[in-house]
Amino acid sequence: MKRLQVLMSVESTAPVEKEEQLGKKIVLSKPKSQRQKTLVQKILVNGFLALICIIWTLPTLGVLVTSFRDRDEVVTSGWWTSFSDPGAFTLRNYEQVLAGQDYSYTRADGTVVSSRGDNMLNSFLNSITVTVPAVIIPILIAAFAAYGFAWLDFPGRKILFATIVGLLVVPLQIALIPILRDYMAIGLNGSYLGIWLAHTGFGLALATYLLFNYISTIPRSIMESAFLDGASHFTTFTRLILPLSVPALASFAIFQFIWVWNDLLVALVFLSGAGEQVEVITQRLLNIVGTRGQDWHLLTAGAFVSMALPLVVFFALQRFFVRGLMAGSVKG
Amino acid sequence: MTDFNMSDKSDSPVQRILSWVARLVVSFAVPLLVFVVLYFGFLFLRDSNAPQIVITISAIIWGVGGAAALYWVTNWVIQRTNGIWRKRLTPFMFVGPAIAILGWYLMLPTLRSFYLSFFDRVSENFVGLDNYIYVFTDPTMQTAFVNNLLWLVVGTGGSVLLGLIIALLADRSGFEKVAKAFIFAPMAISFVGAGVIWKFIYAYQPPGYEQIGLLNAIVTSFGGDPQNWIVMRPWNNIFLIFILIWLQTGFAMVVLSAAIKTVPNELLEAGRIDGAGEIRIITSIIVPSIKGSIVTVSTTILLITLKIFDIVYSMTNGLYGTEVLASQQYKQMFKFLHYGRGSAIAIIILLAVTPVIWYNLKQFGKREVF
């Protein structure tokens, strides 16, 4: 009621069009000058936002378009000129970058140079080998721990959890040298297990914290019935709590997937020296950047090969990813 | 579940001891067997020359299955014990592995890095504060400090401010969902991938040649001279920082957008009724209401920026005065193999995040439900 009175008293220029019943929405028509102003505002807002979207998308679009262009054209003309001749687009760059096919081109002085492409397929598979367990293992360990902290009573429970909270933002740089020394001592360097464990160690604090926040809110009554049936904690956890926590698990899984797939530092430290055999895709791409920085046709195709999977995952599961990001805003 | 009531009272003591020993042997044999299987799996993966696809599949099965098997075996062993022990051991199974890994990978390394930072290149001789003196006096390191500060201020400030502006615009526009997806998409791209994308934008050809980099093409079309952006000191840092802004703005936008939607409509309407313009409403009502989210987002992006390494490493490798702390840390550790200096820089990065650690712990201490 109060608001209605306020509305009536303030907007003297605005005639009340309709007032059917009290409590229903009141429609006010605005005077002409204001209407124009809002139209201008609308155009400004939408126009400016569209401009930002274009600026944000152009860089990626340029790389995408270039990856389908012929090598000779890439180095002699800007990608924005290629739309005049859509027939010239080719998949050759991808063949070269994935399967290491040879390619040849003519230099300015007329000599024909032949050069090898790159074998990214191997590193793509390596990235999958590194990423899948590096996502699942920390989630498994963190879910167990979250259940333990939420529903079991043991000495040191609070101080241990406080430790996890403290470790949330500890930068992983602090661990690189000591862990590298350990790995060299026990032969884990350059092995899949080594890098899985490293990613587990660096992602575990956040995973445990997030999953604890979720699992501790599951009503106790749900579990009581399981205990009455004589189920152990292990059974209750695996049969009841894990399925119930799927949304939280998925959120963190996507977050961790993109994190691990895109990681370069951990891979460089713990997989270097083991040769091309265990190189992940970010390392491979970095090598192409380093050794053939001017081969734009390969670089752009390579960049897209490395981005394809996270982008697909991202667009397919954006909702979960956003939830994971929001919940775990502060990652160390 | 337990076997303890299985043996009859009528059993002779010898039989009872025998069955107890048998159970004990089985309890050790099963975990041992699992360990042996896993260990051979490890050896196979390390030394195998099988095609990559075979390695990939078997590694994933071995890794994920192995982790699950270890839990299952631990549980199996615990179920073999009786009441009081089971009660004592169960929490260990649930919480133990996480604490052990966090201890090995984060807690102990903090102390070990601190210790190593007082030793020389190969961690053998005590050198006191030498590494720290080097870190604060070496010209390259001083450049890294200044650059890192620039990254923190411009990178974080730019991302948060742009994220806020876009969130506000999107809230009032006709294509909010689409716009957000476009701005947010770079989040899924690796720093290295982003490096390639922007290297291409900044690509430089000498004057007179056709410019294939977008930025130089724009500059030359307006009659300017093409610039080699990446080697232009000190502006090249800003061009690198823009890559971070491009990557992080989407994150800031998503979080702030969610916060803006929780501002009560009554407040906004009251403001409009009082004749406040849109700008005034944003500065006086919306921004104060979402202060908490702004702080959280800023902190998160600050933490990411502080450890930024990939962008500098893939764009310039720290040349042309673009070094930052994390790239220097990596170089000291891996290129110069100087563990003392590498550790000292890591400790400085840790000190920089200490306020956040302290704040998190304080917030946790306030939590009543635990």
Long-range contacts of B32-37, Cβ-Cβ distance < 8 Å, separation of 24 or more: B34/B69, B34/B70, B34/B73
Give pTM, 2 decimals: 0.86
Lowest pLDDT segment from A16-30, B55-69, B87-101: A16-30
Shortest Cα–Cα distance, B91 to chain A (Å): 6
Q: Nearest residue of A to residue B349 by CA position?
A: A171
**Best CA proximity match to B90, nearest among A229, A148, A264:** A148
pLDDT at B16: 78
The one-character DSSP state at B229 is G
Percent of chain B with pLDDT over 70: 96
A79-93 pLDDT, tens digit per residue, is 888 888 777 788 888
Contact criterion met (CB < 8 Å) for A329 and B255:
yes
Distance in angstroms (rounded) separating the CA atoms of residues B106 and B4: 41
Residue-averaged pLDDT of chain A: 82
Query: Which B residues in the span 171-200 are in contact with A, Cβ-Cβ below 8 Å?
Result: 172-175, 178-179, 181-193, 195-200
Distance in angstroms (rounded) separating the CA atoms of residues A150 and A212: 7
**Best CA proximity match to A209, nearest among A168, A254, A156:** A168
Considering CB atoms only, which of B46, B249, B364 is closest to A165?
B364
A12 pLDDT above the threshold of 70: no
A159 pLDDT above the threshold of 50: yes
Phi, psi of A157 (to 5 degrees): -60, -50
Q: Which residues of A touch B163 (CB under 8 A)?
A: none
Q: Nearest residue of B to residue A79 by CA position?
A: B212
CA triple B210-B213-B214, angle to 5 deg: 110
pLDDT at A122: 86
A21 pLDDT above the threshold of 70: no
pLDDT band at B4, cuts 50/70/90?
A: very low
The one-character DSSP state at A216 is T
**Best CA proximity match to A172, nearest among B121, B183, B308:** B308
For strand A102-106 and strand A112-116, is the pairing parallel, antiparallel, or unpaired? Answer: antiparallel
pLDDT band at A264, cuts 50/70/90?
A: very high
Hey, what are A68's tokens? 């389908």
pLDDT at A103: 66
Q: What value does the CA radius of gyration of chain A take, rounded to a whole number of Å?
A: 28
**A269 to each of A189, A283, A306, B311, how far by Cα in Å?**
9, 11, 20, 16
Percent of chain B with pLDDT over 90: 48
pLDDT at B89: 85
pLDDT at A100: 67
pLDDT at B279: 86
Contact between A147 and B90 under an 8 Å Cβ cutoff? The reply is no
**B328 to each of A202, B278, B335, B348, how far by Cα in Å?**
21, 46, 10, 12
Please state whether the peptide bond connecting residue B288 to the residue before it is cis, i.e. omega within 30 degrees of 0: no
pLDDT at B78: 85
Q: Which residues of B touch A289 (CB under 8 A)?
A: 192, 195-196, 199, 314
More confident residue, A31 or A316: A316
Cα dihedral across residues A271, A276, A277, A280: positive or negative: positive
pLDDT band at A17, cuts 50/70/90?
A: very low
Hey, what are B304's tokens? 């990411």
pLDDT at A237: 92
* Most confident range, picked from A125-134, A243-252, B17-26, B199-208: A125-134
B202 pLDDT above the threshold of 80: yes
Q: What is the mean pLDDT of residues B186-199?
A: 92
Percent of chain A with pLDDT over 70: 80
Shortest Cα–Cα distance, B286 to chain A (Å): 17
List strand residue ranges (DSSP E) for chain A, in order: 16-18, 27-28, 102-106, 112-116
Shortest Cα–Cα distance, B265 to chain A (Å): 13
CA A130 and chain centroid, separation:
16
Element (H, E) at A128: helix A120-151
Hey, what are A16's tokens? 């009340």
Q: Return the residue in A141, A184, A321 with the most chain B beta carbons within 10 A, the one to mutate for interface testing.
A: A141
Lowest pLDDT segment from A23-27, A97-101, B202-206: A23-27
pLDDT band at A36, cuts 50/70/90?
A: low
> Which residue intervals of B213-290 are DSSP H helices?
214-221, 235-260, 265-273, 278-281, 287-289
Distance in angstroms (rounded) separating the CA atoms of residues A284 and A100: 13
Contact criterion met (CB < 8 Å) for B200 and A296:
yes
End-to-end CA distance of chain B: 31
DSSP calls for A36-78: HHHHHHHHHHHHHHHHHHHHHHHHHHHHHHHHTS-HHHHHHS-
Count how many pairs of residues, chain A against chain B, have C-beta atoms within 8 Å.
364
A16 pLDDT above the threshold of 70: no
A19 pLDDT above the threshold of 60: no
B263-320 pLDDT, tens digit per residue, is 888 888 888 888 888 888 888 899 999 998 999 899 999 999 998 899 999 888 888 8
Hey, what are A290's tokens? 């380093």
Secondary structure percentages of chain B, helix, strand, coil, to 5: 75, 0, 25
pLDDT at B84: 80
Distance in angstroms (rounded) separating the CA atoms of residues B34 and B24: 16
The verdict on B361 touching A (C-beta cutoff 8 Å) is yes
Contact criterion met (CB < 8 Å) for B105 and A200:
yes
Q: Return the residue in A56, A81, A161 with the most chain B beta carbons within 10 A, the one to mutate for interface testing.
A: A56
Contact criterion met (CB < 8 Å) for B105 and A197:
yes
Lowest pLDDT segment from A101-115, A160-174, B108-122: A101-115
> Which residue intervals of B172-213 are DSSP H helices?
176-184, 191-201
Q: Nearest residue of A to residue B217 by CA position?
A: A78
Contact criterion met (CB < 8 Å) for B90 and A78:
no
Q: Which residues of B touch A154 (CB under 8 A)?
A: 91, 95
Lowest pLDDT segment from A73-82, B239-248, B353-362: A73-82
Q: Return the residue in A48, A161, A174, A294 with the most chain B beta carbons within 10 A, the one to mutate for interface testing.
A: A174
Hey, what are B39's tokens? 């260990």
pLDDT at A327: 65
The verdict on B85 touching A (C-beta cutoff 8 Å) is no
Neighbours of A297 (CB within 10 A): 27
Contacts of B354 (CB under 8 A, 6+ apart): none
Contact between A299 and A323 under an 8 Å Cβ cutoff? The reply is no
